[in-house]
Amino acid sequence: MLVSPVLTFSIVLYADGSLRVKDVMKEFHAGGRLVQYRFGERIDAVGFSLFLKTYLEADDFPADFCQRLFHYFQNADSRNISRMINGNRMQRSGVYLKDVSCYFSVLEEGQPRDKLEWLTPGSSAERLVLKDMMTAMDADSSGAVTLQEWIQGGMNNVPLLVLLGLKMAERDGQHIWRMKHFNKPVYCNVCQSMLLGLRKQGLCCILCKYTVHGHCANKNPGPCACTFVKSKKQIGIPAHGWVSADCDSSKCHFCNKKIKTLAGKHCVWCQQMRHDDCVNFGSSSCDCGLLRDHILPPWAIYSSSKVKGRSSSMEDTNLEDITPDGHILQIAPIPDTHPLLVFVNPKSGGKQGERVLRKFQYLLNPRQVYNLSNGGPGPGLHFFRNLHDYRILVCGGDGTVGWILDAIDKADLPVRPPVAVLPLGTGNDLARCLHWGGGYEGTDLREILKEVEESSLVPMDRWSVQVISEDPQEIGDPVPNEIINNYFSIGVDASIAHRFHSMREKHPQKFNSRMKNKLWYFEFATSETISASCKKLKECLSIECCGTPLDLSGHSLEGLAVINIPSMHGGSNLWGEAKKADRDNMSEERSPEVVTDHDVLKMSSQDLSDKRIEVVGLEGAIEMGQIYSGLKRAGHRLAQTSQITIRTHKALPMQIDGEPWMQPPCTVSVVNIPLKRVWPWDLYDQLNKKV
């Protein structure tokens, strides 16, 4: 299929990227809201317009542009070419839905919003760049780029590959480019002229900040720093990773004189800057600077062999240890350091996750920073498994932290590393109770790394939850987790979370920031207050704590929470604080397995590692709001127990650590996980950071 290069890039410019083609395609199948616009394998002009508006999430998509693109799809397909039938000229209407979906799937990878910011249709200079780029690939000057021309010319065009979010052949020491806007004068490291233009002005390496014009990226720019050594002889020999840079009048670490523009280099590990002439005179040994305790330097990662072909020796080698250019990597520990294994969920916190990922790839060795969207935590845990003194930093929400803890359980590591949290989610309850704050607000990541280094260790209980339906034939939603890190709840708060979750699954583009998420949550809480869907909850369930029935007759409840940490709903302490004197008195006595006496519960405080879990009752959504805003001290303390069994008599909304589902009548059992498996769990607690 041949499609105009101009229209190809126009679509890239308009794309938003929050919906996938497969999601839009469902709307054209049976039961979808757009199925009436589909005729066999085709869609008509109206259906095509709705496809674009749905996929690009642009209600004001230009009608003339839509019409032109529709005609291009018609003319590009040989099955749609006008032909003569019975002496009359007839053009088939509609375009093939399969062709449209395949075409847009090619453009789907990457971050289309960044493409929109980099290139604007109104810029004549940028249109010229697009024209030159596509003309260069149009080898036969036909005005359209064939598949062969696209592969031969396009796959060697670095700016085009970056623009479309396609991967280039990866080799160690090769730059990883992204489009970037600079808010101050910046010079190209290849041609040494200034980057000019609006919006995204050029390409910048994620790993070393090497900067070039788009057209200069094809002119053999200087290499990026290597992330591992190729020979065992280089293991443990610290060496600088010098890369050409615009040192911005910084002082040379060797001669202490200012460095002129593009007349210096910086070390990607210790961040030293030197004149080009001073690089060979200063010390060649690198100490990794202020982040030496966290960095896994290249001289600690070595290639044990080079894979030349498939052989029996590969059977015991994990494929995740093999680099794209065929090296098998291993780690040689560096004494007196605690390398940091960083997991980033790029989908957390709107675009915060993406920015945090890039910043950590620059500050640390990119081989110790993992994007959870690319294979999950398994590859990173496997790579670090033979280290005995390392830490983990999880950048994401509570769900991401639970994912990593569960992955560590299943990995059966020789040494269980402690875990710190950089909160990027909406609620971030676990991060709050560990004093990492309610959400990352753009603090310099070097400060975050310093806090990780200075933090203390805190053990934390974890709880196993088993849900057994009364009627095996009655199928409800799948239970999201088998382990409770934060809380388990039934009723009003789970109902709100279930509505929130369902809406986010249906319209993910409406939940792309922490503030929007909170506003949506407030809206669902308001509607739940009006509907009171979980009224008279005590008539729908019964509770036993260590075999002792819990009396709920004196309470009018719409919700029940079983909490392991002193934070829920994004900062609400449902249990409340105990007086200091009462806390001291209670600590001198041995805690019983179960406490239900109201007077004793008033003096009880929470402890993350006391092998007891707290049971709290909620009167409704209004009470939840009062606790969150500080108008009310806490919910209704019902019990502290080391084991709890809940039996429900009708379908009720439930949630585990913010993951909700609708559950038919069932029995829920919650017990402490044995010591030999995962308890206590060490997490970093930043005591000096405000909650």
Closest by CA position to 252, among listed 272, 270, 234, 267: 272
Spatial CB neighbours of 98, under 8 Å, sequence gap ≥ 6: 41
Parallel/antiparallel/unpaired status of strands 202-205 and 177-180: antiparallel
Distances (CA, A) of 341 to 262, 384, 448, 671, 689: 33, 8, 14, 31, 22
Quote the CA–CA distance of 307 and 320 in Å, as a whole number.
13
First to last CA, the chain: 57
Quote the CA–CA distance of 449 and 446 in Å, as a whole number.
5
Quote the CA–CA distance of 628 and 606 in Å, as a whole number.
18
Spatial CB neighbours of 32, under 8 Å, sequence gap ≥ 6: 26
Question: Structure tokens of 476?
Answer: 């409800």
Backbone phi, psi, residue 90, to 5° = -135, 130
Give the total residue count for the chain.
Answer: 691
Question: Structure tokens of 666?
Answer: 């069932």
Element (H, E) at 384: helix 378-384
Closest by CA position to 411, among listed 431, 384, 372, 451: 384
Query: Judging by beta carbons within 10 Å of its beta carbon (0-12, 13-18, 19+), is residue 322 exposed, middle or buried?
Result: middle
What dihedral do alpha carbons 504, 505, 507, 508 form, nearest 10°? 70
Percent of the chain as helix, strand, coil, to the nearest 5: 35, 20, 45
Quote the CA–CA distance of 268 and 51 in Å, as a whole number.
46
Cis ω before 680 (30° cut-off from 0): yes
pLDDT at position 529: 74
Closest by CA position to 363, among listed 303, 422, 283, 431: 422
Question: Structure tokens of 175?
Answer: 């730059």
**209: left (phi > 0), else alpha (psi -120 to 50), else beta?**
left
Task: Find out whether 345 and 509 touch, Cβ atoms under 8 Å.
Answer: no
Task: Find out whether 265 and 274 touch, Cβ atoms under 8 Å.
Answer: yes
Quote the CA–CA distance of 261 and 590 in Å, as a whole number.
68
Quote the CA–CA distance of 625 and 108 in Å, as a whole number.
41
The residues of the chain scoring below 50 in pLDDT are 1-17, 78-92, 109-126, 128, 310-315, 581-584, 586-588, 675-681, 687-691
Q: What residues does 639 pair with on adjacent strands?
A: 615
State how far Cα 381 lies from the chain centre. Answer: 17
Spatial CB neighbours of 507, under 8 Å, sequence gap ≥ 6: none
Long-range CB contacts for residues 25-28, cutoff 8 Å, separation at least 24 = 25/97, 25/101, 27/54, 28/97
Amino acid at 198: L
State how far Cα 335 lies from the chain centre. Answer: 32
Question: Structure tokens of 186?
Answer: 């910046």
Task: Find out whether 654 and 597 touch, Cβ atoms under 8 Å.
Answer: no
Task: Find out whether 173 and 222 touch, Cβ atoms under 8 Å.
Answer: no
Task: Find out whether 336 and 404 touch, Cβ atoms under 8 Å.
Answer: no
Backbone phi, psi, residue 584, to 5° = -65, -40
Parallel/antiparallel/unpaired status of strands 652-656 and 659-663: antiparallel
Hey, is 77 helix, strand or coil?
A: coil
Quote the CA–CA distance of 578 and 365 in Å, as a whole number.
45
**Which domains are delineated in the chain?**
5-115 (1.10.238.110), 120-216 (3.30.60.20), 300-306+318-461 (3.40.50.10330), 463-579+591-672 (2.60.200.40)
pLDDT at position 665: 94
Task: Find out whether 311 and 336 touch, Cβ atoms under 8 Å.
Answer: no
Quote the CA–CA distance of 153 and 160 in Å, as a whole number.
10
Hey, is 21 helix, strand or coil?
A: helix
Quote the CA–CA distance of 657 and 487 in Å, as a whole number.
5
Quote the CA–CA distance of 47 and 28 in Å, as a whole number.
9
Amino acid at 20: R
pLDDT at position 689: 39
Task: Find out whether 73 and 97 touch, Cβ atoms under 8 Å.
Answer: no
Print burial letters for 240-269: b (CB count within 10 Å at least 16), e (below 16): bbbbbbbbeeeebbbeeeebeebbbbbbbb
Quote the CA–CA distance of 156 and 161 in Å, as a whole number.
8
Task: Find out whether 361 and 206 touch, Cβ atoms under 8 Å.
Answer: yes
**HEC secondary structure over 211-262:** EECCHHHHCCCCCCCCCCECCHHHCCCCCCCEEEECCCCCECCCCCCECCCC
Task: Find out whether 548 and 594 touch, Cβ atoms under 8 Å.
Answer: yes
Distances (CA, A) of 113 to 43, 234, 334, 513: 27, 43, 41, 15
State how far Cα 369 lies from the chain centre. Answer: 12
Task: Find out whether 586 and 604 touch, Cβ atoms under 8 Å.
Answer: yes
